[in-house]
Amino acid sequence: MQIALAGYDSLKARVLRNRVKIFDAGLVLIFLGVAALFAFEVDVFENEAGLPPRQQTIELDELLVLTTLTMCCVLFYTWRRARDHKRENAQRLAAEQEVLTLALQDPLTGLPNRRQFDEALTAALKVVPSAPEAHAIFMVDLNGFKKINDVHGHPVGDEVLIHVGARLLRAVRENDLVARLGGDEFAVIARNVVGAEGASTIARRIVENLGPPVAINGVGHPVGAGVGIALSPHDGLTAIELLRKADVALYRAKAERSTGIRFFEPEMDARLHERDALERALRDAVESDSFVIRFQPTSLIGGDGIAGFEASPRLTHPVLGEIEPERFLPIAEETGLLGALTEQSLRKACAAAASWPPTVRLSFNLPGPLLLDAGFGPRILAVAAETGLAPARLDVEIDEGALMREAEAASKLLTPLRSAGVSIVADHFGTGYSDLKNLHRLKLDRVKIDGSFISAMGHDRQAAVMVRALIGIGQGLDLEVIADGVVTEEQRTTLSLQGCGQGQGALYGGQVSAEEAAALVRPDAGGAIVTAG
């Protein structure tokens, strides 16, 4: 604030003071001019020159006129200086108020900023509400805002934030405080709500108000939001504790995306600590390149030959043990480690597969977010060349839903891979609402039917119909069909009769190490290997 006021003094006030000096000089000149005029009117100079000192006199009326003029000038000058002083004080007070406003207000949305929010929350917590009432703290974070900034630019993102702020104000009660804490993160203080039900009502209104797309220049931008809620005094009595717990609840709401609303629960703390441990282990593993690769065999549906192995990374932790990718891949995406993790894991898998017989294929999962990284395709080919694995022996599996969502980016990334001989597989086939146009456009080589359909087809007629339809689509598009999650002989027999080519699951073998995979495909191991053609 002091710096801002100094800037104000050095600019506006300096100009004002210069104007005052000029005006003061003008007043002096006017006064001197009036005095000179008066002197000439009464022949002061002639009288002074022609009379001896004792006879130098001025008429009383002339003295009265001179005194009156002098008093008028003095009074006018005094009035003007008082007016200027009052104006300077008013301008200074306005400047101080403006600086105070800037210190407590978000300049983009006009909402209170973090500083004002913290002060308001601290003040609210000084009064403990009587049961069943509580003070509710809401943390609100937008969905997909980064994509809006990246695709449409920050000016559009700023407009979206302004609209979001206005919608939040409409969603809450008149006396509730809505603040923008930074980026796309907002917070709300609602005093004296009627327990969790009252807080839930406000949270639902927030989600409903942020649901419709925000229209900017005729283009709708979907936002939506996750809301985390902490209640005082139930969840804490200090601002720091309540904000942390509301943030933990927000993290869970964003992860689940079911209703977008979560209240803080004590077990969330334990899960948050576990997540922190996973993140630290993940960073250490990327830095030291210490991921472990597991391989699961894929066999002909009849079970008489190993066609290949699907590789997946594992994270080892001294307390949590061996951790499957479903638990740490979302963290890798959030922390920006997904690309490095995937490349390191692919390199280890390719190095292991290079020693297998040439007819045994390696299948590797490419996480959906990496479809947007145009440079990752060449990196896959570089890793294959570096490890000596022929691209024609490599299958890249991609979640069907990700392929459909990012069809344009997927086509650009996969085209050079396909040209080099890499096969493209749609994983979790049947769950991504594919359309035949995109399936044809992406030029897939294989589809892998999701295991949920395989496990249900024995007792769920619709699942059985779905499996037949998916196999038929694959055959109609001349794609090899793989069934995931095959665990019983009955499932294998049914799939074989329907024309499914390969199977994967507990019936054919579980996850094995690189050494065990190599042993399974050694010519002297006694196991059958699928031959080319």
Taking residue 56's Cβ as centre, other Cβ atoms within 10 Å add up to 12
Answer whether the bond into residue 391 is a cis peptide, omega within 30°.
no
Q: How much is the pLDDT for 55?
A: 45
DSSP annotation of 475 = H
pLDDT at 101: 55
Per-residue confidence (pLDDT) for residue 70, from 0 to 100: 72
Task: Report if pTM > 0.75.
Answer: no
Cα–Cα distance measured from residue 167 to residue 205, given in angstroms and rounded to the nearest whole number:
10
Structure tokens at 121: 């929350």
- 366 to 369, 435, 495: CA distances (angstroms): 9, 21, 26
**Between the CA of residue 127 and those of 232, 235, 354, 379, 530, what are the distances in Å?**
10, 15, 69, 59, 74
Tokens 């009074």 belong to 75
Q: What's the rounded Cα separation, in Å, for the pair 514 and 506?
A: 18
Q: Please give the single-letter amino acid code of residue 440.
A: H
Of 406, 379, 392, 464, the closest CA to residue 430 belongs to: 464
Going from N- to C-terminal start, the domains of the chain cover: 2-104, 114-264, 273-523
Helix ranges (H only) for 105-153 are 114-125, 145-152
Q: How far apart are CA 55 and CA 373, in angstroms?
A: 107
Residues 6+ apart with CB under 8 A from 176: 188, 189, 190, 191, 202
CA distances from 132 to 232, 238, 282, 508, 518 (A): 11, 19, 43, 58, 65
Sheet with 225-232, strands from edge to edge, namely 177-182, 185-194, 133-142, 225-232, 261-263
Residue 448, SS3 per DSSP: strand
CATH 3.40.1280.10 fits 273-523, yes or no: no
Residue recorded with tokens 């294989």: 446
The residue with tokens 């200090």 is 238
Top CATH class, 114-264: alpha beta
SS3 524: helix
Block means of pLDDT (10 residues each) for the chain, 533 residues, are 43 57 66 62 51 51 68 75 75 63 79 92 92 93 88 90 95 94 94 92 94 89 92 92 93 78 86 84 94 96 87 90 92 93 98 96 96 94 97 97 90 94 95 76 93 93 94 93 96 95 94 95 64 44
Residue 268's Cα: distance from chain center in Å?
21
User: What Rg, from alpha-carbon coordinates, does the chain have?
Assistant: 39
CA angle 257, 262, 265 (to 5 degrees): 130
The tally of CA atoms less than 13 A away on the side-chain side of residue 533 is: 0
